[in-house]
Structure 1
Amino acid sequence: MQGCNMEDANKKDIASEKVRDLFQDEDFKKVKEDGSGRIKDSTDQENINEASEAIEEIDISDEERETIAFVFGLRSAVLVAQNQLNERDVVPKSSKNTDSQDDQIEEDLPDYQPGENDVVLKNSELKNKEILEEFMKVAGENGKNNTSEIRVVKDEGSQGVLVYDLKSMYDKNADQSWIRVKPDVSHYRALENEVQDVFNNAPQQCGYMSKDEKEGFYKLFECRTHWEYRLLPIVNQ
């Protein structure tokens, strides 16, 4: 038991340090107090993803109030960092620039080429739908002892693509299954004043996935930030 406590404490220290490193030296305290701290100039999406992953390593299954509050505080700080990074990475507007906003976004985006087995939504068509539906049947709580994985790519036209890596996870000791979702927004640029999707801010842990014929979406359920999340529309029926 003592060994487990030491391991949990170590994971908390690692997560706290990674979150602290996102912010300027004296600003982490401000973030915890009122969210006013600023991220470092060197902070990038990879740093934020690493901090989020470290937070996910902390065990909150025992539901200790102190641990839950600690994790909530770290997640809130990561959300602040993500929002500031998104603002910093927005393509600057110029009254002298005659190029369209779409052209500016395309020039700034890194190129992304989907893999052969990626589930791709583009122009209202869904490629590799059978791979998605096979994963849906066995992943997370729908299956057991399953470790299959897929990549979902949502093509948003001139704004780029949103990428989601989904992997079915299983803990033999706890006899629990879930789906780990890692959003990647590095190939996507939000438009000015676009409402931010908090689902994409950090790795997610969802219970299962299903096809909602009534609403017309493939959905993830029991996620950290959403009870249900519309991942993809049902197309090609």
Structure 2
Amino acid sequence: MEAKLYESDQAPIIQAKGIVRTFGKGAGAVHALRGAHLSIPRGRLVALRGRSGSGKTTLLNLLGALDRPTAGTIYVDGLEITELPEKQRDNLRRKKMGLIFQSLALVPYMSAYENVEFALRIAGAASHEYRRLAEEALDFVGLKARMKHRPFEMSGGEQQRVAIARAIAHKPSVILADEPTAELDSKMGLQVLKVFKDLVQQGMTIILTTHDPAIMEIVDQVYALEDGIIVDEG
């Protein structure tokens, strides 16, 4: 599968500077992030790790333009996104990002192929490219032979790979995945991680949240969060 490769230099694909995210006000305010900084090079597999409540999912949502920080700036491919109007943020997600959520959010009565094609429609892909792109993405994750099956006819690992195919079909620059192996056994989890490694080899950048120590052994970079602060980078 061909992914969009950047011709520009070593500039980070994502940068975050002084990110603060506070929910609520006054004595009841919850400080989910307290000044996070990170810089992610292109073509890397990066993990945000930490216990529940550490701020990793909040940070992922901010990097994906699903939420706005209370303070700080975020750059995606050199574009400062924190002040972008909502329409432009939506367009950024459709064109440059692929999102994978814990719930997967597959449409249950659509086949694997139809789920991926539906995502291509939302991303604004050319209609004459739907079949080629959908089949290419499903083939990349090893599911072309299962593309007529619906989610309830598939294993958990296969459903997760459909979600990945849906996220990559429009060839985004960045994939954001929230706990992508949390509901899988170790064998299925390794299958998903292999797909991620293959995507990185094709030039995509993948950022995932996790608390699984096994994942730390295979990613390129780890940011550890604790109480809304990045306490370690390796």
Fold shared by both chains (TM-score > 0.5): no
Which TM-score applies when normalising by structure 1? 0.26
Which TM-score applies when normalising by structure 2? 0.26
Greater relative contact order structure (CA < 8 Å, 6+ sep)? 2
